[in-house]
Amino acid sequence: MARFMDYHDDLKLPQDAIESLRQGAKEGAVDQFGVQQLELYYNAEGKVYCLLDGPDEQAVRDHHAALGVTCGQVDKVEQLL
């Protein structure tokens, strides 16, 4: 599994969507594309970063498309620890 981070410039998430993502991340849920949400960084202005595990960049894009969310930049990342 590879790790990816993507960025959304204007994605104002309602609190119920944030709670749903939080619950899925806690449970280690994996979607039909093999993508697992690890973390979500966001602010009130709609700047959102998603940290996900998945098989490849296309799976991350498919994951977002299935949620009706446009996915711009997707970067494969490594982590320090």
CB atoms within 10 A of CB 7: 15
- Within-domain flag for 28: yes
Q: Indicate which CATH number applies to the domain containing 55.
A: 3.30.70.3090
- Within-domain flag for 62: yes
Per-residue pLDDT of the chain (81 residues; tens, 9 = 90+): 899 999 999 999 889 989 999 999 999 999 999 999 999 999 999 999 999 999 999 999 999 999 889 888 999 999 898
- Within-domain flag for 23: yes
Measured between alpha carbons, how far is residue 5 from residues 16, 33, 47 in Å?
22, 16, 13
- Within-domain flag for 81: no
How many whole angstroms separate alpha carbon 9 and alpha carbon 53? 21
Domain count, the chain: 1
Domain span at residue 49 reads 2-76
